Structure formats: structure tokens, C-alpha cells
Amino acid sequence: MKNSKPVAQSFDYLLVLGFETTCIENGQIQPVKEIIEFSVIAISTDGWRETAAFHKYIKPTINPTLTTFCTSLTRIEQETVNNGKKLFGVLKDFDSWLEENQIKQTNFTFVTYSDWDLKFVLSDECRAKKIKIPEYFTKWIDLKKAYAEHTGEFPEGGLGEMLVRCNLTFEGRLRRGINNTRNVCRVVETLYKSGYKFRSTLRSVVKDARTPTGERTYWSADGTDF
């Protein structure tokens, strides 16, 4: 890790995001994975401090019953997701959370451990459920790529390996979505303190099931409550 001082950042906020999804023990759950835990921690780059957190469990509707493997892996119980809102409702809540915390009108972007959550998981599920995706979900920072850009080393292993490379140990219970997100925040802070300037590393044009032309999607309050 480079030994430098923090530098001014281009973004007002970095929103560290992580999902947990439905899954099966062998192979891919069909037709798509569904998000069952949605975690975001907002970091203000002005003074580098956590300002707010968003954490919701989501009720899956395509495969509503969690597999034993999924519960064992994520520690999320069936009753927990049964009591949650459906995806569309949580996306509306998240949009309101951005407004309430005065983030939506600022220059912000997401940080994900890899590109998987926003490039595939959210876009695939929204396409299957005919939900329009807010424009702000179409760009993000892939932390693995940012780490490689800053250090010259690409972390082949998981989050645990990246923490070790940053001289950190995992805090909290493994495989809990919000705990994973908090530990990703610690890596993000380590990069910041060592002089890394964050920039968007990925942008995705997400095809909307309601838009045959495949134009970039946007938030619409008239989406179906799937």
C-alpha cells in the first residue's frame, strides 16, 4: 500500500453497497437471483465520516422460499424476508432515504466490492420483474479494480484477502450483508488514507424490460409492485 496523504475527492459521497441474494447449493438459482438483503453506508468525503446507513431485508417473489443452503450461508431466516417489503418498495424507500439525507442532489457514486451487485444482480432482477432502475445505479466504483489501480496488485481472493492486504481483520459476523458492507468501508478508508482518488470504474447501460429500444433506464414511480 502506498504511503501517502489523503487527497481531495471528486465525489461528495461514496455509498458503499452490498447485497445478499437467494441461492442454491449447486449451480445458479433460476431464473434470476433475488436480493434479500440491501445494505448501503454513506461516507461523506468532507472530513471522511459515515453520515447515514440504509439496511433492509427484501421479500423474494420468484422463489419466495429460501433454501436451507441460503439460510445457512447468509444467516437470513425465512420469517425475516417474509416480513420485508418487495424489491420495488425497497427501491422507493432507498430513493426517499437519499432525499432525506440530502445525498440525491450531490455528486455521489456507489462503491461495491466487485461489479457483480450492480452490473448483474440488480439489473437482472429488475429486468425480470419489469422494474425501472434509477439512473444513479448505472455507475459505480469496483473496489477490486480501484485497489489494483492503486497498489498494482489485483486481489484474487475474497474480501478477507483484501482486508489482510490492508493489515485489517474482519469485524463482525461473517456472511452478514451489513457486516460485509462495513468491512468494505474499512478498505475504502484505507485506500483514501493512502492517497487514492476514487473515480468511477464502471458504467452499465441497463436494458429496461419496458423499453424495447434498450435505452438507459431511469426511476419511475409508476412501476409495478413486484
User: pLDDT of 141-187, one tens digit each?
Assistant: 999 999 999 999 988 888 988 999 999 999 877 667 899 999 999 99
Q: Please report, as a single letter, which amino acid is at residue 115.
A: D
Give the model's pLDDT for residue 214: 42
pTM (predicted TM-score): 0.88
Q: What gap in Å lies between CA 122 and CA 139, rounded to an integer?
A: 13
Domain boundaries, the chain: 13-203
Give the model's pLDDT for residue 218: 34
pLDDT digits (tens, 9 = 90+) for 202-212: 665 444 444 44
Query: What pLDDT band is residue 52 in, cutting at 50, 70 and 90?
Result: very high
Structural domain 13-203, CATH architecture = 2-Layer Sandwich (3.30)
Give the model's pLDDT for residue 75: 94
Give the model's pLDDT for residue 2: 66
* Mean pLDDT, all residues of the chain: 89
Give the model's pLDDT for residue 207: 47
What's the rounded mean pLDDT across residues 125-146?
95
The answer to whether the beta carbons of residues 16 and 184 sit under 8 Å apart is yes
**Which residues have CB under 8 Å from 42's CB, separation 6+?**
13, 14, 15, 16, 50, 51, 52, 53, 54, 101, 103
Give the model's pLDDT for residue 26: 92
What's the rounded mean pLDDT across residues 116-139?
96
Give the model's pLDDT for residue 177: 83
DSSP code string of 26-57: SS--SS---EEEEEEEEEETTTTEEEEEEEEE
Q: What gap in Å lies between CA 122 and CA 21, rounded to an integer?
A: 10
